[in-house]
Chains A and B, each alone.
Chain A
Amino acid sequence: GQQLNQSPQSMFIQEGEDVSMNCTSSSIFNTWLWYKQDPGEGPVLLIALYKAGELTSNGRLTAQFGITRKDSFLNISASIPSDVGIYFCAGQNTNAGKSTFGDGTTLTVKP
């Protein structure tokens, strides 16, 4: 099946720094989604991308749908302690809503 490679696996940054993470796939996706998961909670949708080349922002978060449709990145600017968590990318390739998830990027922000 389709697999997503998400990197980096973990990040330790200082408060105020910018963060960048990405996902790549060996095959095309029609939709890219970025989620954040706090411990013991379900993932929360951050940004959804539907067109190749699309660049979308949500507050301090910016995500882009790669032109090749095989990759996406998520940037977080001016990180704050509450940004701590696990970030997952997910790709969808049908209208059925079935998603393939990356392995996650664990973000730690030092005050």
Chain B
Amino acid sequence: GAVVSQHPSRVICKSGTSVKIECRSLDFQATTMFWYRQFPKQSLMLMATSNEGSKATYEQGVEKDKFLINHASLTLSTLTVTSAHPEDSSFYICSARDLRSKNEKLFFGSGTQLSVL
């Protein structure tokens, strides 16, 4: 099946710093990727849709200046948490659509656990 690689898997940073998370589709091209946030024992909350070559589409309540998304190539999307604060600590997960399959399927990265001190 399709493979989505997410890096880093875990990051600890000081309050006020920025953190970049990468999401790569390893064996397919992804014109669209999605970024989710997940709190402990809760469901996945869609933050934004990342579109290759254009601006990301953010869900209501998600600050676009806080969570910068760049989708510069067909295999890479990045999420940058700017000026991180402790409340930004969470599990961030990306997913990508594999358009090669007859019916679209969504594959997820392994997630990034962000801890802001």
Contacts and interface: CB of A to CB of B under 8 A. Distances in A.
A90 B109 CA distance: 16
Q: Is the interface of B mostly helix, strand, loop or mixed?
A: strand
Given A40-B113, A48-B105, A102 B43 contact: yes
Contacts, number: 58
A98 B106 CA distance: 9
Contacts of B34: 97-99
Contact of A101 (B4, B44, B105, B110): B44
A101 B104 contact: no
A97 B110 contact: no
Nearest to B31: A97
A90 B1 CA distance: 19
B43 A99 contact: no
Contacts of A95: 104
Nearest to A35: B108
Interface of A: 31, 33, 35, 40-45, 48, 50, 88, 90, 92, 95-99, 101-104, 106
24 contacts: A31-B104, A33-B105, A35-B108, A40-B9, A41-B111, A42-B4, A42-B95, A42-B110, A43-B93, A45-B105, A45-B108, A48-B103, A88-B43, A88-B44, A96-B32, A97-B34, A97-B95, A97-B104, A97-B106, A98-B46, A101-B43, A101-B44, A103-B42, A104-B43
Interface of B: 1, 4, 6, 9, 32, 34, 41-44, 46, 49, 91, 93, 95, 97, 103-111, 113
